[in-house]
A = this chain, B = another copy of it.
Amino acid sequence: MHMSSPNGKIAEIHQQEAEVKTLEAPAGYRIFNRIVDWITNDRMQLINVTERINEIVRKSGIRDGIVHLQSLHTTTAVFINEWQDALLHDVRAFLDDLVSREEYYRHNDPAYSDCERKNADSHLRGMVMGQSLCLQVRNSAVLLGTWQSIILAEFDGPRSRSMSIQVSGV
């Protein structure tokens, strides 16, 4: 394994350092686990889970580290975007378009599959968007930019959905 050596140019990009902090773990490395459930109402539904995740991070008592989120279902996803009604409408339309529900899929064909939910599109949307997300914990909160929200996406609701949240660090 070798480090890649860039052969392109990053001309005209000014870099500026902003913040340095090193933490020698005083209280020691710890792990905090919790599973949270959501009941969804629509086939495709976007849920802003940012505040819920922050509550759990605060409860964990961990000040600096990593929070790992994983939805435990293949027909869901977890990702980041701005939480704005107009944009959320565009997100749903985009995902509808990216993976058509009407297409022929073997997963929906009784000749090939015993799945009765006809949810091949849900599987493909969940696969492309991803079911897990790792974020930084800083000062007992999830580190996010001003416009970044954590979104849990339901692609085959209504159902009950579980997310496993692990906070680790010091």
Interface residues of chain A: helix, strand, loop or mixed (majority): mixed
B1→A52 contact, CB < 8 A: no
Chain A interface residue count, CB cutoff 8 Å, equals 106
Instruction: Note all chain B residues with C-beta closer than 8 A to A34.
Output: 17-21
A29–B35 touching, CB < 8 Å: no
Q: Is A3 a contact of B141 with CB atoms below 8 Å? A: yes
0/1 interface trace, chain A 72-112, chain B, CB 8 Å (1 if under): 11100001111111111111001000110000011101001
Partner of A144, one of B30, B72, B79, B82: B72
Residues of B within 8 A of A32 (CB): 21-23
Tell whether, in the assembled complex, residue B19 and residue A65 are in contact, meaning their CB atoms are under 8 Å apart. no
**Which of A14, A33, A47: most chain B Cβ within 10 A?**
A33
Question: Lowest 9 CB-CB distances: which A-B pairs, in order?
Answer: A72-B145, A86-B106, A86-B113, A86-B112, A18-B35, A6-B48, A29-B29, A87-B107, A23-B31
